[in-house]
């Protein structure tokens, strides 16, 4: 009986993931999820008390992964020299980001682009601001800003936005693990070289 319940729960989660990915949170209905999962609408509530509950059961884990990844990156950077930061981005950051895309590409897209109506609606913008702030304060302001007038530049916002959108594009067009590894490496090298060029 327990095994059957787990199979039903997985069917519900799989159907919900596809609907959230296609329609977003606000336009997804529990009725349609139940239909795709081949369960009654009333039965779906035996597993998840609400659409919100179902959504967060799928998306909370990827949210935590992304937050932990950035926290660990920023903490590691504190102990590095100036030139080592760029190596950290291109070498160390690439692997965990790649693993997130390989394992949770759909959830990542939902979190970033399909979460209107949830507590995560502004998460992508918050993430962009966090990356922008870190690039500006840690790389430019504390190290070389006085040499190049980048303190008040909008370019770091553009770089942070492009980096995040680039990673999302990789998730949306996922082909295989080797493809992800190769393209993440190129994407990060592109951004690292771009930032390095600004600091010359």
Domain ranges of the chain: 1-49, 59-198
State what percent of residues in the chain have pLDDT above 90.
Answer: 60
Listed in order, strand segments (DSSP E) in the chain are none
Helix (H) or strand (E) holding 82: helix 82-87
- Higher-confidence residue of 13 and 139: namely 13
Query: What pLDDT does residue 159 have?
Result: 87
Helix (H) or strand (E) holding 182: helix 177-198
Q: Is 153 helix (H, G, I), strand (E, B) or coil?
A: coil
| Lowest mean pLDDT segment, chosen from 11-20, 29-38, 63-72, 189-198 | 189-198
94-153 tens-digit pLDDT: 889 999 999 999 999 999 999 999 999 999 999 999 888 877 776 655 455 445 555 566
**CATH superfamily ID and name for 1-49:** Homeodomain-like (1.10.10.60)
- Higher-confidence residue of 146 and 87: namely 87
Cα 197 from Cα 200, distance rounded (Å): 6
What tokens does 93 get?
């950051």
Listed in order, strand segments (DSSP E) in 16-96 are none
30-58 tens-digit pLDDT: 999 999 999 999 999 999 999 999 999 99
What tokens does 74 get?
């920023």
């Amino acid at each position: 009986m327990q095994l059957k319940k787990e199979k039903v729960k997985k069917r519900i989660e799989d159907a919900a993931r596809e609907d959230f990915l296609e329609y977003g949170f606000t336009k997804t209905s529990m009725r349609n999820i139940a239909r795709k999962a081949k369960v009654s609408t009333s039965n779906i509530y035996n597993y998840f008390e609400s659409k919100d509950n179902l959504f967060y059961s799928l998306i909370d884990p990827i949210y935590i992964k992304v937050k932990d990844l950035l926290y660990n990156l920023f903490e590691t950077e504190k102990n590095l020299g100036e030139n080592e930061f760029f190596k950290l981005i291109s070498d160390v950051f690439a692997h965990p980001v790649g693993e997130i895309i390989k394992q949770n590409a759909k959830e990542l897209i939902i979190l970033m682009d399909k979460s209107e109506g949830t507590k995560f609606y502004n998460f992508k913008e918050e993430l962009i601001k966090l990356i922008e702030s870190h690039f500006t304060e840690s790389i430019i302001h504390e190290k070389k800003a006085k040499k190049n007038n980048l303190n008040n530049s909008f370019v770091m916002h553009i770089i942070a936005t492009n980096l995040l959108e680039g990673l999302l594009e990789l998730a949306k067009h996922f082909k295989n693990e080797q493809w992800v590894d190769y393209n993440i490496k190129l994407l990060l090298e592109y951004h690292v070289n771009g930032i390095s060029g600004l600091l010359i």
